[in-house]
Amino acid sequence: MTARLPHEATPDESPIGLEARYGARNYDPLPVVLTRGEGVQLWDDAGRCYLDMMSAYSAVSFGHGHPVLLQALNEQAQRLAITSRAFHTDKLGPFLQRLCRMTGMARALPMNSGAEAVETAIKAARKWGYRIKGVAEGRAQIIVAENNFAGRTTTIVGFSTEAQYRDGFGPFAPGFVQVPFGDAAALEAAITPDTCAVLIEPIQGEAGIVVPPHGYLKAVREACDRHNVLMICDEIQTGLGRTGAMLACDHEGVRPDGLTLGKALGGGLLPVSAFLARDDVMDLFTPGDHGSTFGGNPLAAAVGDAALQLLEREGLAEQARWTGEHLMLRLKAIGHPAIVDLRGKGLLVGVEIDPGFASARSVCVGLMNEGVLTKDTHGTVVRLAPPLVVTLAQLDQAVDALARVLHRLGASRAPA
């Protein structure tokens, strides 16, 4: 090893310094180093406790280190963790059965990340268009909404309207048509004989917790039925109780033809995702058409099954409904002029901050200093999406912290 000369600067060996030195700079984290989590709480390397009001974009919907899920993980890891899908295991079938029963879908294809689930949905929709609807080969189109976010693969960023997601990553796959989110008439007008599917988020998460007008999903469902088009709902962030219902599309009584799930499905312990669909869509997959080394492995299936059982047994979707109502009422009561809008359902809430008052990032830094952790989106929206097990007292603590941060930021802007 080469000795360091006396005049050479000592490198930053802290966790943040090492990450900056050796990691890609594709994230800009808040300056906090987390070392432990339990329930809705997190601790940093100095022992300070925080409230988690982000829950890893819903991946930690059951809280950190839930004992039921840890038990399922530990027991299965000691028995059998990973095998190829070249063999059956005793865990995958029961997991898929429960997943289909709880969502009302016919069949499920397990994957790992949410982006993989969306890629699976795209492949399924196109093949259905060619084999069932009769679209000419190579002409299948999928309608997506503007300001969508479905993942980071090159196909997915190719149909994004966010310039940064696309910059430098082309050329992109053709076959996607963008329409305004929340405008069912514009969506139907975009349908052509080559349209095989509509792929939408029931609530747009990364766009700033954007809730469409009531009746939008039902109108999309009806348009898809009229034109023989698949309706595929991306519920990777909104599904599994997050919005106060099992699925966000349940709020309008809509049953999609295809569905993507992820994040919460892994219980905050593993990446687990799935594409679910009706029989005639899923029947088009034959051996060799699609797969994943880790998709549907017994460890993931055991944890996913335990997570679904916990969600159902504890009534967490219903709990998210009334705790979310409490959160929204408390936020409205702040009454600060910096808050220009409050949006969301259940425990998926966006607080839009007037950019002339402060950036949402600065509000998140202020919340961090108050012992509350979350993240901004698009520079103007503070995301409040805690684990579904959050208590009313913890929600009150977070809202009180937000009120103090806004008051302090306002005081700092006041003329001397």
Active-site residue set: 149, 234, 263
Q: Let me know if 279 is exposed, middle or buried by CB neighbors in 10 A (0-12, 13-18, 19+).
A: exposed
Residue type present at position 365: V
Q: How many helices (H) and strands (E) does the chain have?
A: 13, 15
Three-state DSSP state, 14: coil
Distance separating alpha carbons of residues 170 and 158, to the nearest angstrom: 7
Nearest to 341, CA basis, from 380, 376, 394, 386: 380
What token pair was written down for 44? 């940093």
Count of CB atoms situated within 10 Å of the CB of 36:
13
Distance separating alpha carbons of residues 297 and 305, to the nearest angstrom: 12
At 407, which helix (H) or strand (E)? helix 392-413
Nearest to 385, CA basis, from 182, 148, 209: 209
Count of CB atoms situated within 10 Å of the CB of 413:
10
